């Protein structure tokens, strides 16, 4: 699997259930959300604008996606938003590259990161700033079940570890077309 296929397999509507453990306070919290993941083209205005901020030609983007979410934490605290992800390949290693990341509708600057697609087809996303380290690992347990772990560490000592199970809603992954008969 490559990064493009991973993004393509992730497209669709998902139900996510998350359990987080706040390491600094030994508290746990849970949340549920609906995710919508849609593939974007290299000429999408958001993709071209984000690439331009990094002085990267959007034609170099291997794949892009917008992830929109709406959910709750601990049965309350309604949250919603969306984020834009753009993958730029490392020319020396197709399993690794830059990950451009922008949370829509916020004043937060775009966050550069990187991705690594392991031999086990698990995708690791790493985002580091001066005061924050985030590592997420995503993999498919089946065509309609995706799992995700994350570890967030902040300079102020706040740390959290999370586990999410994500179930595709209402649509199954397209079947692989049958091979033509031999002969």
In this prediction, residue 181 carries a pLDDT of: 52
Average pLDDT, integer, range 75-101: 90
Element (H, E) at 88: strand 76-90
Which of the four pLDDT bands, split at 50, 70 and 90, describes residue 183?
A: very low
In this prediction, residue 104 carries a pLDDT of: 79
Domain ranges of the chain: 3-168
pTM: 0.86
The alpha carbons of the chain give a radius of gyration, in whole angstroms, of 17
pLDDT over 90 at 32, yes or no: yes
Tokens matching residue 28: 């746990």
CATH 2.40.128.20 fits 3-168, yes or no: yes
Q: CA 56, CA 42: separation in Å to the nearest integer?
A: 12
């Amino acid at each position: 699997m490559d990064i493009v296929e991973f993004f393509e397999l992730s497209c669709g509507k998902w139900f996510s259930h998350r359990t987080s453990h706040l390491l600094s306070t030994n508290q746990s919290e849970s949340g549920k959300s609906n995710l919508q993941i849609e593939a974007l083209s290299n000429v999408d205005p958001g993709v071209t604008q984000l690439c331009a901020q990094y002085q990267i030609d959007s034609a170099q983007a291997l794949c892009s996606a917008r992830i929109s979410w709406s959910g709750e934490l601990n049965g309350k605290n309604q949250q919603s938003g969306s984020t834009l992800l753009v993958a730029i390949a490392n020319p020396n290693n197709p399993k690794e590259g830059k990950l451009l990341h922008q949370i829509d509708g916020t004043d937060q600057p775009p966050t550069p990161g990187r991705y690594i697609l392991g031999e086990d087809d698990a995708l690791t996303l790493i985002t580091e700033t001066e005061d924050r380290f985030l590592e997420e690992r995503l993999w498919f347990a089946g065509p309609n079940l995706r799992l995700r772990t994350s570890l967030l560490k902040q300079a102020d000592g706040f740390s959290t570890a999370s586990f999410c199970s994500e179930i595709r809603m209402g649509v199954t992954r397209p079947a692989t077309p049958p091979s033509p008969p031999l002969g």
